[in-house]
Structure 1
Amino acid sequence: MARARQRQQNGRSTATRNNGRARNQDNKGLIPQLARAVREVEAAVERRSIAPSVRTKFQVVALLARQERNRIKADPDLTESRRGEELKRLDGIATILAQTAARDSTLFELLREDAMVTDAAKELIRDLQTAAGMEVPEEEEPEPQEASEAPEVTERRVVPQAVLARQLANPFLVPDFTAARAKKPRTSELARWELLGPLFRSFEQSDDTAVACMPLPGPEHVRLPGDLELMAHQARMVGAAANGHRTFLLADEPGLGKTAQALLAAQEAKAYPLLVVVPNVVKTNWAREAERWTPRHPATVIHGDGDSIDGFADIIIVNYEVLDRHVGWLKDLGFRGMVVDEAHFIKNKSSQRSQHVLEVSESIRARTGRPLLMALTGTPLINDIDDFRAIWQFLGWIDEKKPLAELIDKLEDNQMTPLDRAFFPAARKSVIDMGIVRRRKIDVAADIPERRIADIPVELDGEVGRSIREAEAELARRLVKRYDSALAARTSGEVVEGIDHDLVRRVAGWEREDSDESTGENVFALMRRIGQAKAGLAADYTAQLARNVGKVVFFAKHIDVMDAAEETFDRRGIKYSSIRGDQTRGVREKNIEAFVNDPEVSVVVCSLTAAGVGLNLQVASNVVLAELSWTAAEQTQAIDRVHRIGQDQPVTAWRVIAAQTVDTRIAELIDTKAGLAARALDGSTEEVSSVDLQIEAMVTLLTDALEARLAV
């Protein structure tokens, strides 16, 4: 009897331990994580608080539940009873998902097999798998971000008040029935072929001598404001738009005026309103160029949520980084044209910005029969041609799986299939005739000067920009106070109406002499801070050039600006060498040798003072001037490092200018007082000393402040 009681007690203990282990198993693994997450989604939907993060969590739970169900069904180590229990728990999660989606039908879209999985969703998947104790595979190393690229975020849609005003003023869009394309009653020989692969291979198999530009008309007369002139290659491309062509992959090398061509093509095509999507670093430049080339068509720039935009502008400029929050109203505005600058930014079709660009362009093509669509990039077409899949889709030449009607018609006209060897060069020409325009500097050297300077204005946003503008305002206030004190101390009794410009110049001279002792921020410190603020933007632009044209020479005046630029190149995965004043002769020669002869080294970061003379860097034809010098000669000497005997390409120097700061004034002074533009074009020897430029900079600051006071 005692033994029977002992066996009964042992049996109860074993059952208790087994039940405990079962409960512990139920609380481990992925299913408890999914159950907790789906309850959070259910509660949020019941509160009608469906933020983007809630939608992401809903999709992730559905994806992981689907994967877990397949895993459980295929797991040979599970007993049938355990498999049944696990599947029953997943059914409970699926029931909650279905009930939740019934409350908000838009959630059903996230359950589709082809629903886009955002970066935020992928990150949440990894988090849940890690919390479940699962072995998560190493995340692939992300590609280096392009210039001005910010981490993508979940959507936060806005509609600026100015846009609402425009929509209320014109609530009805004129219908465009030309979008309904007549179908050709022809039997497609190519219908059974997979054509995108052969089309891409047709570019990869071509050699350097193959034509990379569609047929263009002769230079056309284009309406231009003032005394502006187009170069012949620009006029031919604009002429194609005037003749009715509407889709372009404009792949000219940097320095050949793609911005002007795009703006004037829109004017000839009457493609207004026009949407322009650009990297942040060139956003301000696009607005400036629009005012210059098409002044009758006002442009507006979207910053942040777009609170300051002109809702009635003809040209709306937005950068990739804020596009996500404006997609909704951009799709509905009724654009008749769209330009995507640095279009290789959208090559990754799974990225949010690529999806947003394609979403907007698809809406424009659906609303407008023949919109003007232009993709601008200097990247050579024969490299990484699969990167152009998203660009061709943006232009409406292909969709996810096949060429669209117009391109199919061109391929059919060739009367060949991929079995024919001649199919590939003929197919390549068919794609090029859709609108690929590619010219190199060397091809149009007769059109452009041997050496020229192009300014890239950039906005200094955020706290840094505000701090610099406040420091500049403080310097102007100090100059005004000094001017007023000098007027009050005057004993001659002389009275000057308005501004005493002679006194203004004397005050600037006094400030220059006392600059080392001044208690406030002087013009030298201000320029250094501006250089530091521009460093990342200038490096971003250099990275774009390096990708597009190869080797680039980057010049800066201060060591900390060089350091910041090199950090940016490290993050972008761009190999560089450096030339500084503190290097030994051996290190200097080694770094020059790397830039000149190593094809992997695409940028050399140079000190204006240490590398401005005595170097031959003509392996490059593009120079970036990240900081302005106080003398024209110093900058000219820097440009001459690449513009030397033996240089077989025109040289372009890109000056990065901080808009709405004293940087702009100093650039203007260099051009007008020191003759920098003349030196670049006709070898003028006019020169002004650094002291003159420093005084002139303060003269303009003080004069502007006094004029503003008089205007009140």
Structure 2
Amino acid sequence: MVLNALAGFRQTAMDYLATNRHDIALDFSGDCYTIRIPDEDSPDGDWVSTLKFSNIDNLTFASCSCPDGDCCVHLMTAFFSAYDAHGWLPLHHKFHLSFWYALFFKFFIEEARLHADGDRHYSIASSHVTLEISALSPEAFTKWLPIVHQSTEPKIPSEKTFPQSALYRIAKCFFFFAEAGAQLDLIENNQGFPTQFSLQWEGLSLKGEILDFTTLEYLFPKINFAQTSLPGNYRDFSVTKVRVAPEESKIYFTIHPAQQDNTTQTITPLGSVGYVAGSQLVILPSQETSVSIYVLSLLPATLKKQILSLLHYDAEERPIRYSIHFLRDSSLSFSAYLDTPGDLENGELIYPDFCYVPERGLFTIEGLLSPQISFIIKADQVEEFLNHEGSLIREPGFEVFTNQVPEGQLTYNITQQGVLLFHYNTGDPAAIDIHYGPWTYYSGQGFFLQRKADLEIQDGLIVEADQIPSFIMKHEVVLRTIPNFFAPTPPLKNLFFEVHKETKGSGLYLKPVFQGLEEENCRLFGVFLYRENLGFNLLPTPLQSLCSLPKKIPPEQVPDFIHQNFQNDKLVFVDPQLCLPETFELVIRSITRPHPSSPLHLQLELKTNIGSIPLGTALQALKNKRAFAFTKAGFLNFQHCLFQFLKQFISSQKCLIPENTLIATVTDIFKLDALAPLSTHEKIQASESDLAFFSQLKAACLPPIPQSLFSTDHKLRPYQNSGLLWLWFLYNHRLSGLLCDEMGLGKTHQATALLDIVFQSAEPTERPKFLVVCPTSVLPHWEHTLATHLPTVSIFSFHGPNKPEHLPPADVIITSYGTLRQNYAKFYKLSFTVTVFDEIHMAKNKSSQIHKILCRLDSQMKLGLTGTPIENNLLEFKGLLDIILPNYLPSDALFKKLFTKKHTAEVDDEIIPSQDLLLKLTRPFILRRTKKLVLPELPEKVESIIPCTLSPEQKKLYLSTLKREKAQIQQLESPEEQTVNYLHVFALLNHLKQICNHPAIFFKNPDKYREHESGKWEAFVRLLHDSLSSGYKVVVFSQYIHMIRIIMLYLEEIGVKYASIQGKSLNRKEEIEYFTTDPECRVFVGSLLAAGTGINLTAGNVVIMYDRWWNPAKENQALDRVHRIGQKNTVFIYKLMTEDTLEERIHYLIEKKIRLLDKVISTQDSNILHMLNREDLITILSYKDERGGVDETLSNTSEEDEVSLF
């Protein structure tokens, strides 16, 4: 109830109203009030209160414009002023019952119109009543006009629309006049009845007449006769039958008007009253009425005295008392009483100031907490209750203290869940304390408010387990004042953690082991040790780092946790199922084959250094998509490459899980053996043939070749014969492979020998069909070799503009990569016995069309030939293997994760290091020999670096180019992460290389090379003349066409004959033959890309690398054109390098990074451009003093610092 909140302002409001009622401005519409209370504190001079009533006198809404809003003295004052001066009724209800409302509502319903009849004169008439209203002064007329013309009249007359009309406002105006003291004059007509009436107030005059008796009966009883000219004392009355209705907060009584003296005269009924015609005497009836207890004080003194005297009213204010006790859930139970507990059981509380007890009467009370005699405050509502009502509680032991502390001292305890609780110890073991937010109840003392700003640590403070370490650090000084919070130094010798599996789920937890404190109950909270009943201690510094370990490891973090911490000597893995295996082995218990050509059915068990399990256990876990498993063989992390491969058996349905069996092809066996060595059980169940077949695969035994089947003497060297045995092994097992012998060791020769033996060993009815795909430059070489060594085989070269529309039925088809790309559909229709891809690295890019075409070709065996299987990076190497062995290696993403990322700590975590793993996976299918290994008789190769210097012109160009691109270089040097335009940077590097070569190629004007100076050119000319004068043939390589043009111009000028191959050369064969056979041809000039592959330049024995290629593998290819089988002389290789320029920097990078290319596994890219990081580029682009020591900088650069720019 809204009034309950305003009760405290009652007396102040009454006092104000007693002297200031006439200053209060009040208006209402319906049951809503707007009341202005004068107040000098208001900027506008008054505060506006808004009230709303329901059910006549029930206040349902109250709001004030003052800062206190909905609870202030203005609202209480407004509530009282909404009643008439005698406290009978709210004004809006009194108006609704009044003569004025009835009169004008009758006009409104009968649609009588108000007319302006002249200057300040209005009239309104109906068949029942006539009325005239005049403004007696201009001032009064000015006030009258808004009343009449304030708003548009409603179109449909009804009681609902009446408040919107002018007639309603006029009625309310004259009602307020009457309430202010205006007298309504009543005049009798000729029959002695009061049909004429008039009123004059504040400059307005009203005169009217009731025209019929029925209307008089309706209107006359509604008149407040105490406000008329009729004689008689209408304010004299007596009261009987007084009763209290507590549930309504009202007092009901019957009122009896004073009896008139001449009651013997004839009384004419006029509605509910009687009238003595001609005597102006009104006879009022007795009637029951009521008054709200809240406005009892507004009643006239005589009436109030009569009512209270009949109620046994005790005017002395009495304090209410309460019985208080706690419920089980910490709720508070209250029971009110006056003198003794329970004496209000039959009584009623009239909140907030009255109490009614039958047979005892009505009491004025104070200290009431609730409208109910008995009530319960729920535990979660006690805080709010104490904040608002706590000051009214006066019961001993339950009083409220806001600025005091209880008797006792602060102490603490640790719960079983590790929560730190602070509480007061009052000294009474049976005492309890209950917390309600900032309030705490202490037995026998009461409720105490704890203000957070007063103390850092208070009673009821709760610190969660994970917050305890930081809490102790922050509040150490205060905590030292709490008895036994810190303990004496413990005899702790060491700290370990046992790793255990959770009883439910797949997570782990760590259990601390306190060496030296075995007899004590200890717990660990961060870096603090807690000993029960003793207190906290900070762990010794050497042991504090252990506290960063998680205490619980969720399942998704278990694999990483075990891998990272298994070697930690402070962690004890008690359970063998949590231990990481050091070795994996697959033990074969049985081998079966449903058919001799069927894959092997291998029944396996997984064996580790910890124990063994049936393979089906791991397979079932994989099938269930488990990330790991705790087994008798130890902790199995299914991210390990072995299990990733085993997933393929599940997805392809090549396993029988209940039988622990894998259905394995030959490639599957090689892969399994690489991932986990295959071994046979001592009691293996297998047929002799199956066991022999497996043993042959396991040992990779190479079957002998029937030499009698050769169609010609291939004159194979011993290492070439070994290569042929390997190729024959692959063919016999329907496998494919990569022959990766170093340049010049006869890969073409070995491949040709394989085709010969395959062709000769075939059944007459099954004539083999071969395909050879090679670069255009070596097509003639293949044609000659095949024609020489396979004389009985039909050979067709499908190449050139005159090639036929359809492929001919030849035994061997030779084509180029370009021709195949343009005519691939023709080849898709054929099935080949053996397909040879010469220089297969040309299809290394998996996204290229030629790669996809080679993968799609149908061939029983695919043989790739390349001298550079790892030309750029391992993904390209994988691309080559994917051509010959589809789906053998893992997906690109997994392959990159396993083999192309730099491993640091991860290397130790892998049971098989990535380098060894890739070697084992690919060894059966890749054969690579080097000249140094197999050709000790090959002449020596001597490499020399020829330093050069920039000419003044070159130096000026070099520095101006660097200066012009200063913004790009500064972007590289910026420590902030920002996007660098590396294509622009590499274009700059290319320009600098051109300047180092010769200014003429920088200006793209080679024919005028003599107009410029170049230090490198001068060194080249000297070296060229020295070599020629010594009788050597010289091979010169450059990557720039303009540089080759300058060299050829110079050779023509000095009369030296030369041969040349460039990118657009069509007479490659003639040029090579010219250099090889003509003693007058002393020099061969070629570009690295055009002349670096597929040709034989053994006629030369001096090689000059005029400029360095970014890719060392490409350089080596070019050098191998000279240093190969057939070379009889020592080969001298000279590499020109301009000092103090990017060429010197690149040389050091090549020398440093080329060492990585000797490994089969490398996380680097052999293309130097792809290997440069920001620091490398900054070093390369520095000059002289700017570089800050090139040698030192490069020697201190670690492999881990090198990242790919692409």
Place the TM-score, normalised by the shorter chain, in its bin. Answer: 0.3 to 0.5
Structure with more relative contact order (C-alpha pairs < 8 Å, separation 6 or more): 1
Q: Higher helix proportion, which one?
A: 1
Indicate the structure (1 or 2) with the bigger Cα radius of gyration.
2
Report the TM-score, using the length of structure 1 for normalisation. 0.36
Report the TM-score, using the length of structure 2 for normalisation. 0.22
